[in-house]
């Protein structure tokens, strides 16, 4: 009798290898940040001993960090220590948002001391990174350069630029240049500490397509404006979040969520850019409802966002001004609870 063909088995094995490789690639792209994994690892014993899972698992389930099957698998373990270990084994595999969601869940379940432990460890890991490069060989107390040198300059194509709001007369590319040593020496004592890596979190919210009774026009070139800001903030060393075409209620909710991100605790600053139609004192959502800027600023004050207390919070507002020709462009720099500067 002839030996069975190895063809089908080889095909199945090859398919299995391809599936496994795809899983590894997905985990590499969408897995937890290495610093977050290291923070969990360094505190693994404490977490395994002290975590209280009964309510915590429900929060993680609600945030889609774990599934029902995972919760049941964890709860099937015989003791709390084993259950905690099982959760700690799962978390690094649950995507880039798992660490932040875990920290929020700890806070919401009155286990904030464990969140503080993780964030303190994370801050220590980030401080181990090499300092920003500097073009000047001077003994200065802070780095001179205001950004990491970019690996590749992003340039806007002529076809894209001609549709932007500046009608193509803006710069073809973006560059971030260091200040001179003389300027730095004269001003560094007045500067905020900006040494975290990244420098901070930035949110760019751009509304382009509008509906509703206000009959607001399509914001031609809005996509170019928001892309340019994203590129600039990245060159300045910020981690950028982008939101497009939000209603006023969605804007308020997303801004509140952004202000409550645990990562702000270990960052040195924050940027919020709002690009939309608007009027004096407010910006429109895509539904034509006005969101008051004072409500936006309130979300980031010391009472509502203690993680950014005594840190610079920069707000860039680009919106048309009601009843006037032209646009309303503001830079608002909130340095503490009440101080602000409008340019």
Calpha distance 332→272 (Å, rounded):
10
Give me the CATH number covering residue 317: 3.40.50.1460
In-domain check, residue 289:
yes
C-alpha radius of gyration, the chain, whole number: 24
CB 174 within 8 A of CB 153: yes
SS3 160: helix
Which residue in this structure is represented by tokens 């937890």? 32
SS3 304: coil
Q: To which H or E segment does residue 78 belong?
A: none
* Strand 238-244 with 313-320, pairing: unpaired
Calpha distance 122→126 (Å, rounded):
6
Choosing from 127, 149, 166, the residue where a domain stops is 127
- Do 233 and 105 lie in one domain? The reply is no
Q: What is the dihedral of CA 140, 146, 149, 155, to 10 degrees?
A: -160
* Structure-block tokens of residue 53: 């899972």
Q: Which are the catalytic amino acids? A: 277, 320
Q: Model's pTM, two decimal places?
A: 0.54
Calpha distance 294→281 (Å, rounded):
7
Of residues 253, 232, 317, 242, the one with CA closest to residue 281: 317
In-domain check, residue 144:
no
- Find how far residue 127's CA is from the centre of its chain: 19
CA atoms 315, 317, 323, 324: torsion sign: positive
- Do 94 and 214 lie in one domain? The reply is no
Q: List, in sequence order, every residue forming a beta bridge with 273; answer none if it has no partner.
A: 204, 316
Q: List, in sequence order, every residue forming a beta bridge with 329; answer none if it has no partner.
A: 318
Q: What is the predicted pLDDT for the residue at 11? A: 55
Q: What is the predicted pLDDT for the residue at 153? A: 40
- Do 104 and 218 lie in one domain? The reply is no
In-domain check, residue 133:
no
CA atoms lying within 13 Å on the CB side of residue 119: 20
- Do 200 and 336 lie in one domain? The reply is yes
In-domain check, residue 160:
no
The single-letter DSSP state of residue 339 is -
Calpha distance 304→162 (Å, rounded):
41
Calpha distance 329→93 (Å, rounded):
43
The single-letter DSSP state of residue 130 is P
- Do 213 and 116 lie in one domain? The reply is no
**Terminal Cα-to-Cα distance of the chain (whole angstroms):** 89
Domain count, the chain: 2
Give me the CATH number covering residue 58: 1.10.533.10
- Do 196 and 335 lie in one domain? The reply is yes
In-domain check, residue 41:
yes
Output the CA–CA distances (angstroms, integers) from residue 292 to 160, 203, 207, 246, in the order listed: 32, 17, 15, 15
- Find how far residue 158's CA is from the centre of its chain: 30
Mean pLDDT for back-to-back runs of 10 residues, the chain (343 residues): 48 51 43 86 92 93 92 92 93 89 90 87 63 34 36 40 42 72 83 86 94 82 86 91 94 95 91 92 92 94 91 90 48 41 30
Choosing from 110, 127, 144, the residue where a domain stops is 127
Question: Domain residues for 57?
Answer: 34-127
Calpha distance 296→284 (Å, rounded):
12
CB 224 within 8 A of CB 171: no
Q: What is the predicted pLDDT for the residue at 325? A: 39
- Do 210 and 120 lie in one domain? The reply is no
């Amino acid at each position: 009798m002839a030996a069975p063909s190895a063809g089908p088995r080889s095909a199945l094995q090859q398919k299995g290898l391809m599936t496994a490789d795809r899983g590894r690639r997905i985990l590499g792209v969408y897995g937890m940040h290495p610093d977050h994994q290291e923070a969990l690892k360094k505190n693994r014993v404490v977490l395994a001993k002290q975590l209280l899972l009964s309510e915590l698992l429900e929060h993680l389930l609600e945030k889609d960090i774990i599934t029902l099957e995972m919760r049941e698998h964890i709860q099937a373990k015989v003791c709390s220590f084993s259950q905690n270990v099982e959760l700690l084994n799962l978390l690094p595999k649950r995507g880039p948002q798992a660490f932040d969601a875990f920290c929020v869940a700890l806070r919401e379940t009155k286990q904030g001391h464990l969140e503080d432990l993780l964030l303190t460890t994370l801050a220590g890991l980030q401080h181990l990174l090499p300092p920003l490069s500097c073009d000047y060989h001077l003994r200065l107390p802070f780095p001179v350069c205001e950004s990491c040198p970019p690996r590749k300059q992003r340039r806007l194509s002529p076809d894209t630029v001609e549709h932007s709001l500046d009608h193509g007369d803006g710069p073809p590319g973006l560059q971030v240049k260091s200040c001179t040593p003389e300027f730095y020496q004269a001003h560094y004592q007045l500067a905020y500490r900006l040494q975290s890596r990244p420098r901070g979190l930035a949110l760019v919210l751009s509304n382009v397509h509008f509906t509703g009774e206000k009959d607001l026009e399509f914001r031609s070139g809005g996509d170019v404006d928001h892309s340019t800001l994203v590129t600039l903030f990245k060159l300045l060393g910020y981690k950028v979040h982008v939101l497009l075409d939000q209603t006023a209620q969605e804007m308020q909710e997303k801004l509140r969520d952004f202000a409550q991100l645990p990562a702000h605790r270990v960052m040195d600053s924050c940027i919020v850019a709002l690009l939309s139609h608007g009027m004096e004192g407010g910006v429109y959502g895509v539904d034509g409802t006005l969101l008051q800027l004072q409500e936006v600023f309130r979300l980031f004050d010391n009472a509502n966002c203690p993680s950014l207390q005594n840190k610079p919070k920069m707000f860039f507002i680009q919106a048309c001004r009601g009843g006037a020709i032209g646009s309303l462009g503001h830079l608002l720099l909130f340095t503490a609870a009440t101080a602000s500067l409008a340019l």
